[in-house]
A = this chain, B = another copy of it.
């Protein structure tokens, strides 16, 4: 959890920028907003189940990416906070459903029992559905001081990122590929650009849309996000092999046991780490036109290759 990996700061990143402090501050803002977004009302059981997973901690990287991009492009935290919360609701729903016995059958997530282990499968399915529906409602109903047309664009992007054209499609291919020994790099790329990448891209792109960036800048932001998304997944795969269960907060070595194809299994650990660093370089290059304003996004990109959990 350090701000840099010791390399000289890339162009555009101010040496004075303290990522660790920045992330802590934003994380606290997001935690507070998430807590307020979902009050515990009748019937309490479903709200409890939704809150259990939504407020289970985590780095809140997705909402932070959304807020940071909106600020980079001249918008405010307030404009982007409902979308930032919605992104975390969507991410949480995908974790709850992925952990179900019919899917990855995981008992632990972020060091806590998974939703269905606490509330039962039926409630866990419904808690996911509830979070997904609420994400869209929350953006539509709570976004302030943004033209309605932009909010509709954000909702379109969120839907695309989570549906069959994004996360759901990636998960389907992931399930189909399990146990197969001859997964091609193309298939693995499809899985990850959809399962992890699409939502990360939506975080960045939605932040830009809310602030009203040009199409050209949206393209740059989108490529930045695609690159860090893939790097993030590669690092995740590497950590699954090299980190301990305590560090991960979830079962370690699970991919190996499940015989899941991963980047390290295709390329080896060293080459995977090198590829992740290349992707991060490409990502930060896209942000050069934004100058000093991009320092948070650049620092976050660099952080991805140095994280240990």
Interface of A with B (CB < 8 Å)?
Answer: 43, 45-47, 50, 93, 97, 100, 102-103, 120-123, 125-126, 128-130, 132-134, 136-138, 140-141, 147-149, 151-153, 155-156, 158-160, 162-164, 168-169, 171-173, 175-176, 190
Inter-chain CA distance A102–B175, complex, in Å, is 20
- Whether A168 touches B102, Cβ cut-off 8 Å, given contacts A136-B155, A136-B158, A152-B140, is no
- Whether A43 touches B169, Cβ cut-off 8 Å, given contacts A50-B164, A137-B163, A152-B140, is yes
Residues of B close to A164: CB separation below 8 A: 43, 46-47, 50, 130, 134
Inter-chain CA distance A158–B173, complex, in Å, is 29
Inter-chain CA distance A45–B171, complex, in Å, is 11
Residues of B close to A103: CB separation below 8 A: 122, 125
Residues of B close to A130: CB separation below 8 A: 163-164, 168-169
Task: Name the 9 nearest CB pairs between A and B, nearest first.
Answer: A137-B159, A148-B148, A102-B121, A133-B163, A140-B155, A130-B164, A136-B136, A141-B156, A130-B168
- A144, chain B: closest CB distance, angstroms: 12
Would you give 22 A-B contacts (Cβ < 8 Å), ordered by A?
A45-B176, A46-B168, A97-B125, A97-B129, A103-B122, A122-B175, A123-B172, A123-B175, A125-B125, A126-B172, A129-B129, A129-B163, A133-B168, A134-B164, A136-B155, A137-B158, A137-B160, A140-B156, A141-B159, A147-B148, A151-B152, A152-B152
> Is B125 within 8 A of A102, CB to CB?
yes
Inter-chain CA distance A120–B153, complex, in Å, is 34
Known A46-B168, A128-B129, A130-B168; further 4 A-B contacts with Cβ < 8 A: A45-B172, A122-B175, A136-B159, A148-B152
Residues of B close to A169: CB separation below 8 A: 43, 46, 130
Residues of B close to A123: CB separation below 8 A: 172, 175
Inter-chain CA distance A160–B41, complex, in Å, is 14
- Whether A159 touches B172, Cβ cut-off 8 Å, given contacts A125-B97, A148-B151, A152-B148, is no
> Is B122 within 8 A of A137, CB to CB?
no
> Is A172 within 8 A of B132, CB to CB?
no
Inter-chain CA distance A292–B168, complex, in Å, is 46
